[in-house]
Amino acid sequence: MQSAARTGFSRLLSRYAIGANSLAAADQAIQLTPSDAEAHRARATVLNRLHRPAEAKVSLETATSLRSQQATLWLELGATREELGETEAALAAFDQAVRCAPHYGETRWQRGNLLLRMGRHDEAFTDLRAAARSNPKFFPNVIDLAWGITGGVASATDNLLQIDNDAERLAFARFLATKGKGGDVSEQVRLLNARLSEENKNELVQLLARSRRFTEAFALAQGSAKSEGVVNGGFEEPLAFGNEYFRWVVSREQSGAKPAVDVAEKFSGERSLQVSFNGDWDVNAALLSQTIVVSPGQRYRLSFALKTKDLVTGGPPRIVLIDATNEQILATSETFPQSTELWQQLNVEFTTAPTAEAIVVSLKRENCASSPCPIFGAMWLDEFALEKL
Helix, strand, coil percentages for the chain (3-state, nearest 5):
45, 20, 35
- Specify whether 280 is located in the same domain as 217: no
pLDDT the model gives residue 314: 86
pLDDT the model gives residue 332: 96
- Specify whether 204 is located in the same domain as 283: no
Q: How many CB atoms lie within 10 A of CB 256?
A: 14
Cβ(221)–Cβ(246) under 8 Å? Answer: yes
Of 299, 303, 307, 304, give the one whose Cα is nearest residue 356. 299
- Specify whether 287 is located in the same domain as 356: yes
- Specify whether 189 is located in the same domain as 252: no
What DSSP character marks residue 287? S
294: domain CATH number? 2.60.120.260
pLDDT the model gives residue 228: 64
Tell me how far apart the alpha carbons of residues 241 and 250 are, in angstroms, rounded to a whole number: 5
Tell me how far apart the alpha carbons of residues 85 and 58 are, in angstroms, rounded to a whole number: 15
- Furthest-apart CA pair in the chain: how many Å? 99
Question: Model confidence over 308-332: pLDDT tens digits?
Answer: 999 999 889 999 999 999 999 999 9
- Structural domain ending residue among the three candidates 226, 254, 278: 226
Residue 277: inside a domain, yes or no?
Answer: yes
Query: Number of folded domains in the chain?
Result: 2
Count each helix (H run) and each strand (E run) in the chain, helices first: 14, 11
pLDDT the model gives residue 221: 86
Residue 284: inside a domain, yes or no?
Answer: yes
Q: Which residues of the chain have pLDDT under 70?
A: 1-2, 224-228, 242
Question: Model confidence over 160-207: pLDDT tens digits?
Answer: 999 999 999 999 999 999 999 999 999 999 999 999 999 999 999 999
Tell me how far apart the alpha carbons of residues 146 and 106 are, in angstroms, rounded to a whole number: 18
Residue 349: inside a domain, yes or no?
Answer: yes
- Specify whether 375 is located in the same domain as 250: yes
State the pTM of this model. Answer: 0.81
Question: Model confidence over 343-368: pLDDT tens digits?
Answer: 999 999 999 999 999 999 999 998 88
- Specify whether 267 is located in the same domain as 367: yes
What range defines the domain where residue 247 resides? 240-388
Cβ(218)–Cβ(247) under 8 Å? Answer: no
Residue 104: inside a domain, yes or no?
Answer: no
Type of residue numbered 380: W
pLDDT the model gives residue 251: 82
Helices assigned H by DSSP within 194-262:
198-210, 214-222
- Structural domain ending residue among the three candidates 180, 195, 226: 226
What DSSP character marks residue 238? -
